[in-house]
Structure 1
Amino acid sequence: MTAANPTEHDDPVSSLRARIAQVSAPPMSDAAKHLLDALLEKFPTSAALFYGSGASVSSHEDPTNIIFDFYIIGPSYDALYASGMLGLANKIMPPNVFYFETPSPDGTLRAKYAVLTIDHFESLVSTKTFHSYFWARFAQPCRIYDPNNQMRDRLENALAQSIISFCANAVGLVGKSFTAKELWLAGLNASYKAELRAEDSDRAGKLIESYGDWAATVTAPALRAAGYSVTKENDKITIGETPKPADLSWRMRAMAGAGLSVARLLKGTQTFNGGIDYIAWKIKRHSGIDIGVTEWERKHPLLGAPGAGLRYYRLRAKQKNT
C-alpha cells in the first residue's frame, strides 16, 4: 500500500491549494487576457475565475469562434453594481449572467460572465449549500485572474472547498472503494441531471480525460478534508467508513434543479445584456443564417425573441429552397 504524502495527509487543504495554484500558473492565452483586461475595466476592484471551454483553447483554434466563460468576483454588490435591483437579484437567485464582447487584433471576442461577491461565492461552494450548481462547477480546474492580488488567497480556499464539497457529496454514489475517475464520473453525471443539462452520456468521461491527473491528485485530499480516513493502493482509493447513500440527495437536487433552471433562464432574459446578439451570432456560426437583430429587439429581448425566431425559420426555409 502506498504511503500518503505527508503534506497532503497533515494539511489536505494546503495540498488542494497547491494544485489549484499550479493550474493557475501558466500564462493565459492572449485572447483570454485581452477579454479579461477589458472586462475588469468595468469591475476594477474585482478578480475573475476563468473556466469552461475557453480555458482549454489550444493555440491553433480561432478564439473568435469561442464563447469564453468567466465569473467576476467582487468585494461587495455595491462595488459591483450601480443598480440596487441587480444586487438584490444576485442575492436572491445567484448568479446574474451577462454577455460581453470586445474588439481585438484577432477580431471580435465574446464572453459570458457571471457576477458574485467573494462572501457569497464562499458560501455557495461550501458543504452547507445543498444544490451542486456552484461547487460542482468549481471543483473542476479553473484559472484565477487577480491583477490586484487582493482575493487570491480567499479564491484558492473557496476553490479547494468546492472540491471538498463535490467529493463529499459524490462519495455516497460509489461506496467505500473506488477510483478517482469513478467518483468523478458519478458526481459529474449526477450534477448534470441536477441542472437539467442535456449532456452526451460520455461528456463527463471526456472532461475527466481532458483534465489530466486532476481527479487523481485532488480526490484523496478532498475526502480527508471532509473527514474521511483514506488509503490509496495504485489508483484505488478506500475510505475507512461506509459513506451514507447519496442517491436520495441527488434525486432531491434534480427535483430542485428543475425549478432553479427555469427561474435562472427567466431571470437571464432580464440580466443577459446583449444576449440576443449572442444568439444571433451562434445561429450565423452554425447555420450561416444572419437573422439581422434590430435595435428594438436589443432593447426588448424578451418581447423581441419570438420575432427573431420567426425570422430565422423564414430565412432557413428560403435557404433550403435555393
Structure 2
Amino acid sequence: MSLRSLIAAELAEPVDPRVAAMAKAVAEAHGDASLAVIFYGSCLRERQLEGLMLDFYLIVDDYRRAYDKAWLAKANALIPPNVFHFQHEGLVAKYAVLDAADLARETSLDAGSVSVWARFAQPVRLVWQRDDKARQMVEAAVAEAPVTLFAMTLPLMDAAPEDSNAVWSEGFRQTYAAELRAERKGRGGSIIDSDPERYRQVGDAARREVETRGLSRGVSSRAMARKWKRLQRKGKALSVIRLAKASATFNGGAEYIAWKINRHAGTDIELTEFQKRHPLWAAVSLLPRLLRSGAIR
C-alpha cells in the first residue's frame, strides 16, 4: 500500500464523538476561514478524556479571515502557530492555528522547525473538514511528515537498518532534542512501542518515498548532523518565543504548562497566584530551574 493510502486510511479512522463535536466547535469559532481540524497527541490513545487536555490543529485558508483582531493574524503569520485554550461540553483542549500554506511547508523538508512534522509523523486523525478539497490537502501534507523524518534521519545512520522502527527511534530522539520537552528520555521509543506494526508499515512506505525521490541522495552524515544542530538551536529558541506568545492567547497557560511538566517529568511544581496571573513571567521564572533539574530538555 502506498504511503498516501496508509495516511488517508489512518486520518479517516473514527474518534470519540465528543472529540468530533469539539473539533466542529473549534472550526465554527473561526467561521468561513476554517478548512480542517486535526486531532493528535497522547489523548488520541486515551479512552478516558475527562481531566485531560485534547490537542488539535486548526487549518485555515487565510490568517486575516480567521481572526477579528489584526494583531492575531500578524502574530500567526510571523511565528506560527497561535495557540488557544478551548472548552466544550465538559472537555478542555488547546488548539494551534496554521494556514494551508504553512501546513504544507512545515511538514516538508523546507520546514523551519521540527514541531509540526514530528507530531504529524505520528498517528493523527482528520476530525473535521470543510470539503473534499480540504481533506485532500490535509492528506497530502500529513503524508509528507514521515517522509521528512526519514529523509532527515537516514543520512545520520552509518548503515540504514532494515527495521524501519530503528529509523523512527533515532528520528524521534533527534526531534525531542530540537524542542524544550518535559517528557522523560526514551519517550520516542514508547511512542513506537504503542503500535510497532503501524510504524513499521508507514516507515517502510516513507523509506520507499525517500529513495524514489532521491531525497537523501548525496547528503553526507556530517552535513545532515550540522542541519540537525541548527534545527536544535533554533527549536529551543522558538519554544521559548512560542511560549511567550501563547501567554497572550492562552487562558490558564501557566497552569497548563505546570500540569504538563508535572505529568511527563514527574515533578511537583506549584505556581504562585502571581505566576498564574502572569503566565509569561511564570514561564521565564521557571525555565532556568527546570533546565537545571532536567525536568525539561
Aligning the two structures, in what range does the TM-score lie when normalised by the shorter sequence?
0.7 to 0.9
Whether contact under 8 Å (1:196, 1:261) holds in the other structure is yes
Tell me which residue corresponds to 2:46. 57
Structure having the higher Rg: 1
Indicate whether 1:264 and 2:263 are aligned: no
2:168 is aligned, of 184, 189, 194, to 184
Give the match's secondary structure for 2:247.
Answer: helix
Matches within 5 A, 1:81-120: 81-103=67-89, 108-120=90-102
1:172 is aligned, of 132, 155, 178, to 155
2:7 is aligned, of 20, 28, 36, to 20
Whether contact under 8 Å (1:228, 1:241) holds in the other structure is no
Q: Shift of the alpha carbon at 1:75?
A: 1.0
Whole-angstrom distance in 2 between the partners of 1:81 and 1:167 = 36
Whether contact under 8 Å (1:50, 1:69) holds in the other structure is yes
Q: Shift of the alpha carbon at 1:29?
A: 0.6
Indicate whether 1:221 and 2:221 are aligned: no
Tell me which residue corresponds to 1:11. none
TM-score, normalisation: structure 2: 0.81
* TM-aligned CA distance change 1:190 to 1:270, over 3 Å: same
Whether contact under 8 Å (1:228, 1:240) holds in the other structure is no
* TM-aligned CA distance change 1:255 to 1:29, over 3 Å: same
1:248 is aligned, of 220, 226, 236, to 226
TM-score, normalisation: structure 1: 0.75
Indicate whether 1:153 and 2:136 are aligned: yes
Ranges in structure 1 where 5+ consecutive residues have no aligned partner: 1-7, 9-14, 231-238, 310-322
Q: Shift of the alpha carbon at 1:201?
A: 2.2
Give the match's secondary structure for 1:111.
Answer: strand
Deviations 1:228-265 (A, max 9, x none): 589xxxxxxxx996752132222222112221111111
Whole-angstrom distance in 1 between the partners of 2:271 and 2:213 = 58
Deviations 1:108-134 (A, max 9, x none): 211010001111111121112253122
Deviations 1:205-228 (A, max 9, x none): 110111342221122332332345
Tell me which residue corresponds to 1:312. none
Whole-angstrom distance in 2 between the partners of 1:287 and 1:196 = 16
Q: Shift of the alpha carbon at 1:147?
A: 4.0
* TM-aligned CA distance change 1:209 to 1:57, over 3 Å: same
* TM-aligned CA distance change 1:229 to 1:75, over 3 Å: closer
Whole-angstrom distance in 2 between the partners of 1:176 and 1:69 = 36
Whole-angstrom distance in 2 between the partners of 1:94 and 1:134 = 10
Tell me which residue corresponds to 1:36. 23
Please provide the CA RMSD for this pair. Answer: 3.3
Whole-angstrom distance in 1 between the partners of 2:98 and 2:123 = 19
Give the match's secondary structure for 1:115.
Answer: strand
Deviations 1:63-115 (A, max 9, x none): 11111000000111122111111111111111111111123xxxx21101000
Whole-angstrom distance in 2 between the partners of 1:24 and 1:87 = 28
Q: Shift of the alpha carbon at 1:151?
A: 0.6
Whole-angstrom distance in 2 between the partners of 1:268 and 1:240 = 36
* TM-aligned CA distance change 1:292 to 1:39, over 3 Å: farther
Tell me which residue corresponds to 1:313. none
Whole-angstrom distance in 1 between the partners of 2:226 and 2:26 = 41
Whole-angstrom distance in 2 between the partners of 1:42 and 1:73 = 12
> How many residues are matched?
276
Whole-angstrom distance in 2 between the partners of 1:204 and 1:288 = 23
Tell me which residue corresponds to 2:105. 123
* TM-aligned CA distance change 1:198 to 1:247, over 3 Å: farther
Give the match's secondary structure for 1:146.
Answer: strand
